[in-house]
């Protein structure tokens, strides 16, 4: 059967290649008895794919039972899935069949499979491997022939690493994986879905359907949609009920979209899962590295002076002044990092400096810094902004240095 006819039969809307691929895989695996694991974010419509698999299989005349594993309390999940005998626990006034016994010959859809307790995962693994299980409070083995389709919106391999999900069960469930794309990966389908929902609610509430302006369509497509199709449907219903004017512009639409920013930007560094480092921490890290580099450069220049090679160049003196600026930025909590432009000094005559001149000169780096500031101010006729730019430092740092060295202008 073609993908388009499957969409019409099960009410699937969209033309995304990722969506078509997921449908095609579901159709191909349906005639087999292989277990299937459906993955995707919450709200993408994973619940439709087990129905496709069941209806396209030879089990379509058998029972189809959908179980939300996250909605059943841990203490009763074993009883719900596998049944129990009378008196097996408090409140068990009579024997009860579980879903695996009722669905014999059919299909069970286990939604939110990662929410199953580890003890229940062991029982489920036995069913998948041997088709056998025991009721709670019973020692009798019961046979069942059930097709299992599971789904999860969490990263199962990550849950395995945390010890929250059995690895052998994952491999047994993941015989054929089906990935359902998120809404932001189907941007061309977003407006199409919106129009479908708007038409449905217009019919339901007997009102004109919503229409989006061009700028509103851009906002709609660029929004992150963390709740995917479920969120889009809810937003469409809210606007349909609340807004009297059915011509929706971008400003009106944004009022219904929590956090209009688009957070799908590259993450530079993550400390832990879902814990992103702040911009201030990144800045501090850069400043610490800069301070370390400037300290090393200071040692190198001082060593060159001591060995009599030559005095610090303009470039080296600027670099040392940058180090002072970095200290200021860290202490003051400045969040802005300014680009420091350092010009390459002209090539110097290696015979220009003489040992006698080097002995008479001051070896203090502060004196050299003082001298370079004076020369820069003199060159630019006392204009501090230009002098600071020439030195490659901020005006704030230059003001502090002028005051520190008591430089008269």
CA distances from residue 50 to 47, 89, 148 in whole angstroms, order as listed: 6, 33, 9
pLDDT tens for 332-387 read: 444 444 444 444 444 444 444 444 444 444 556 777 788 888 888 888 888 888 88
Please tell me the predicted confidence (pLDDT) of residue 356: 42
Judged against a pLDDT cut of 80, whether residue 17 lies above it is answered with: yes
With a CB cutoff of 8 Å and minimum separation 6, the contacts of 322 are: 290, 294, 340, 392, 393
CA distance 173 to 124: 10
Q: Nearest-CA neighbor of 224 among 267, 274, 270, 190? A: 190
Q: Does residue 402 or residue 233 have the better pLDDT? A: 233
Give me the half-sphere count of Cα atoms (radius 13 Å) on the Cβ side of residue 385.
Answer: 0
- Name the pLDDT band for 178 (thresholds 50, 70, 90): very high
Q: Does residue 86 or residue 409 have the better pLDDT? A: 86
What ranges do the domains of the chain cover? 3-181, 184-254, 279-404
With a CB cutoff of 8 Å and minimum separation 6, the contacts of 101 are: 82, 83, 142, 144
Whether pTM exceeds 0.85: no
Element (H, E) at 152: strand 147-152
Domain with residues 3-181, CATH architecture = 3-Layer(aba) Sandwich (3.40)
Query: Using alpha carbons only, what angle is made at residue 253 by residues 248 and 256, rounded to the nearest 5 degrees?
Result: 135
- Name the pLDDT band for 396 (thresholds 50, 70, 90): confident
CA distance 165 to 147: 21
Tokens of 234: 């809810």
- Contact present, 346 and 313 (Cβ < 8 Å): no
Question: Under CATH, which number does the domain 184-254 receive?
Answer: 1.10.8.60
* CA dihedral sign of residues 265, 270, 273, 276: negative
Please tell me the predicted confidence (pLDDT) of residue 50: 97
Collapsing DSSP states into helix, strand and coil, what is residue 270? Answer: strand
Collapsing DSSP states into helix, strand and coil, what is residue 151? Answer: strand
pLDDT tens for 105-156 read: 999 999 999 999 999 999 999 999 999 999 999 999 999 999 999 999 999 9
Q: Nearest-CA neighbor of 328 among 407, 406, 398? A: 398
- Name the pLDDT band for 320 (thresholds 50, 70, 90): low
Query: Using alpha carbons only, what angle is made at residue 243 by residues 241 and 246, rounded to the nearest 5 degrees?
Result: 105
Average pLDDT, the chain: 82
Q: Nearest-CA neighbor of 135 among 80, 93, 63? A: 80
Segment among 7-21, 206-220, 234-248, 285-299 with least mean pLDDT: 285-299
Please tell me the predicted confidence (pLDDT) of residue 134: 95
Q: State the pairing for strand pair 107-111/64-68.
A: parallel
- Contact present, 44 and 181 (Cβ < 8 Å): yes
Please tell me the predicted confidence (pLDDT) of residue 294: 73
CA distance 226 to 185: 12
DSSP H helical segments within 245-313, as ranges?
250-254, 279-306
Q: Does residue 71 or residue 360 have the better pLDDT? A: 71
- Crossing angle of helices 48-55 and 17-29, in 10° steps, is 40
CA distance 23 to 4: 10
How many angstroms separate the first and last alpha carbons of the chain? 88
Tokens of 297: 């450069």
Q: Nearest-CA neighbor of 146 among 195, 103, 83, 199? A: 103
Question: How many CB atoms are located within 10 Å of the residue 384 CB?
Answer: 16
Domain 3-181 and domain 184-254 have a common topology = no
pLDDT (average), residues 179-202:
96
């Amino acid at each position: 059967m073609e993908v388009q006819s499957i969409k019409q039969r099960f009410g699937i809307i969209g033309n995304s290649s990722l969506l078509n691929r997921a449908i095609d895989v579901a159709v191909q695996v349906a005639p087999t008895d292989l277990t299937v694991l459906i993955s995707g974010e919450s709200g993408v419509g994973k619940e439709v794919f087990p129905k496709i698999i069941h209806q396209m299989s030879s089990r379509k005349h058998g029972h189809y039972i959908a179980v939300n594993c996250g909605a059943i309390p841990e203490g009763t999940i074993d009883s719900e899935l596998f049944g129990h005998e009378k008196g097996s626990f408090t409140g068990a006034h009579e024997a009860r069949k579980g879903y695996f016994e009722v669905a014999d010959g059919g299909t069970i859809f286990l939604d939110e499979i990662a929410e199953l307790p580890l003890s229940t995962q062991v029982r489920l693994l036995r069913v998948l491997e041997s088709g056998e299980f025991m009721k709670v409070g019973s020692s009798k083995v019961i046979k069942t022939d059930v097709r299992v389709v599971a789904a999860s919106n969490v990263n199962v391999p990550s849950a395995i690493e945390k010890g929250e999900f059995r690895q052998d069960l994952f491999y047994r469930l993941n015989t054929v994986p089906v990935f359902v794309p998120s809404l932001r990966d189907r941007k061309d389908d977003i407006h199409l879905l919106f129009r479908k929902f708007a038409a449905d609610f217009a019919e339901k509430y007997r009102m004109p359907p919503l229409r989006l302006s061009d700028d509103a369509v851009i906002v709609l497509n660029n929004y992150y949609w963390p709740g995917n199709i479920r969120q889009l449907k809810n937003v469409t219903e809210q606007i349909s009920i609340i807004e009297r004017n059915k011509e929706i512009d971008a400003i009106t639409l944004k009022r219904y979209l929590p956090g209009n920013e688009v957070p799908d930007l590259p993450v530079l560094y993550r400390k832990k899962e879902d814990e992103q480092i702040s911009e201030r921490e990144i800045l501090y890290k850069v400043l610490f590295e800069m301070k370390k580099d400037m300290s090393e450069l200071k040692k190198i220049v001082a060593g060159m002076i001591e060995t009599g090679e030559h005095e610090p160049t303009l470039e080296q003196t600027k670099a040392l002044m940058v180090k002072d600026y970095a200290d200021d930025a860290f202490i003051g909590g400045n969040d802005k990092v300014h680009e420091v432009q350092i010009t390459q000094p002209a090539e110097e005559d290696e015979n220009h400096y003489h040992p006698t001149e080097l002995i008479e000169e001051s070896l203090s780096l502060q004196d050299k810094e003082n001298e370079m500031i004076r020369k820069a101010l003199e060159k630019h006729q006392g204009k501090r902004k230009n002098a600071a730019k020439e030195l490659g430092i901020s005006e704030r740092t230059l003001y502090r240095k002028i005051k520190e060295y008591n430089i008269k202008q």
